[in-house]
Amino acid sequence: MTKSKILLPVFIKGFIVVAIAFLMVFLMNMAMQNFLDEELAQVQIAAEKAAEAEKALLEANSEEEKERLELQARILKLEQEEQFYQQYKNRESYHYYGQFYEMFENVHNADVIFLGTSHASHGVNPKYIEEANPEHSFFNFALNGSNPQYYSDWYEIFKESGYPTPKTIIFCVDWFMCDDGWLWRRIDFDTSPDKPVDIMRKIENSKKSSISSNSETENTAETSAENGDAAVEDVQPKTEEKKVNWWDVDEMTTLIFNQIPLIYSRDRIPEMIKWLFGQYSFETTLETEEDENDTGEEEEELKLPVYKHSYLVDPIGNVTSDYYKGFIPWEAWYDGSKTVAKSNDSKIQWKTFEQLIKQFQADGIEVIFVEVPEYLDGRIEKQMEENNDKIEAFAKENGIEFYNYNEELASEINDDYTNYSDWGHLNTQGSTAFSKLLGEDLKEILK
């Protein structure tokens, strides 16, 4: 038997194995895309209802009708927000999704917003701040690992989303905020496929396409199919065309992997398999808390819903069920032990920070600096005083108030390690105490 005759069957068998493997991956990839699409569809349906209600509100003819439609639109917005929570609550660090959801959907119309690192996202609870300052609406947009360059990119998306320009930004500064090794976050973590910004852009497109489609139906005699196509095209996200460096292996790998749902959503494979076998459902029941004063006599009266959430914690300790306007508690066991904390500052990050703050001010936004409490005996810090002096000098130079809860405004919160999940992150107990303190201080600050 010749060598070619021996190799031919081996080659054929190898080809068949590769073809079967490719087919399996192709089918699994299709299944993952369908899984993600169905998950998103539940929120898109709710979003389209809310968008239609807001459109009807603009066309209201009387004050009475306007009041009714305003309440109806508000109810549908809250239902949509709850539908979003129900679909995405099992994602690790749900607050990444919740912050961008608010940015694009503007449920709470905050005139005072918080920015900062995880010290702020786990430490500043708007619930207690708004109790002390009911004349304002607050939202915590702080995100884990965020550095000044991240927020510079974030601000561009913030403006793209159409969120009303806040009156005040409370920037929760950290003495280590310019260490971009420590603070690792980049905007593409949130804009890549099936991540917060990508999801919200798809929801926005769905809403605009739905309204556009309904408008076309009402005006079929006047609107051509050509114009209809243009209307849909207009809702696509406006993103700058980025040049691809074909010789950069990392960039090309990321670009290719971002086209494959099975890869970029590989953490969802277990859920997707359960969904394929009917063990995972997207149907949700929006369970609301009952009003104790509700006698049931006025069945048709519209009331704002308040939703109940069963206790839920993600794999890294975020208490998802207690998420509130951007804040999410983080619980981890901590015994008060000391850690060495050193900041390797980047000059580029500091320059970006200065430019960003000046851009906020140029846009007519009042800026306030707050440094969230740390457990002072829990770290041997290096450069805190030096870096805080630098922040304070910049604040004075630009007419910004700086409230430092680790130095001149330190309190008993800083001395009790049971308030913390580690030396820098407040837990539920600590964040509640600090948010109440900050809420009282903000009464004067916001004047």
The two three-digit tokens of residue 364, written as one number? 């007519």
pLDDT of 235 above 60: no
> Lowest mean pLDDT: which of 119-128, 234-243, 284-293, 296-305?
234-243
Residues 6+ apart with CB under 8 A from 312: 89, 90, 319, 320, 321
pLDDT of 261 above 70: yes
pLDDT of 339 above 70: yes
Strand order in the sheet with 138-140: 138-140, 112-116, 168-172, 366-371, 401-404
The most confident of the ranges 65-79, 133-147, 377-391 is 133-147
Across 230-259, average pLDDT:
54
Q: Where do the domains of the chain lie?
A: 3-234+246-281+305-445
pLDDT of 421 above 80: yes
The Cβ of residue 280 has, within 10 Å, a number of other Cβ atoms equal to 14
Across 339-345, average pLDDT:
90
Q: Categorize the per-residue pLDDT at 232 as very low, low, confident or very high, splitting at 50, 70 and 90.
A: very low
The two three-digit tokens of residue 375, written as one number? 């457990």
Across 314-336, average pLDDT:
95
Helices 3-58 and 196-218 cross at an angle (nearest 10°) of 60
The two three-digit tokens of residue 213, written as one number? 């489609």
Write down the mean pLDDT value for the chain.
85
Give pTM, 2 decimals.
0.84
Give the pLDDT score at 144.
Answer: 96
- 41-61 pLDDT, tens digit each: 888 888 888 888 888 888 878
> Lowest mean pLDDT: which of 34-38, 260-264, 321-325?
260-264
Contact 372, 405 (CB under 8 A): yes
Collapsed DSSP state (helix, strand, coil) of residue 50: helix
Give the pLDDT score at 247.
Answer: 61
Q: Categorize the per-residue pLDDT at 95 as very low, low, confident or very high, splitting at 50, 70 and 90.
A: very high
- Nearest Cα residue to 204 out of 100, 115, 112, 283: 100
In 168-262, DSSP assigns E strands to 168-172
pLDDT > 90: percent of the chain: 54
CATH code for the part of the protein at 3-234+246-281+305-445: 3.40.50.1110
Give the pLDDT score at 230.
Answer: 41
pLDDT of 1 above 60: no
**248 or 173, which is more confident?**
173
Q: What is the DSSP string of 236-268?
A: S---PPPPP-TT-HHHHHHHHHTT-HHHHTGGG
- Distance in angstroms (rounded) separating the CA atoms of residues 183 and 194: 23
Q: Categorize the per-residue pLDDT at 252 as very low, low, confident or very high, splitting at 50, 70 and 90.
A: low
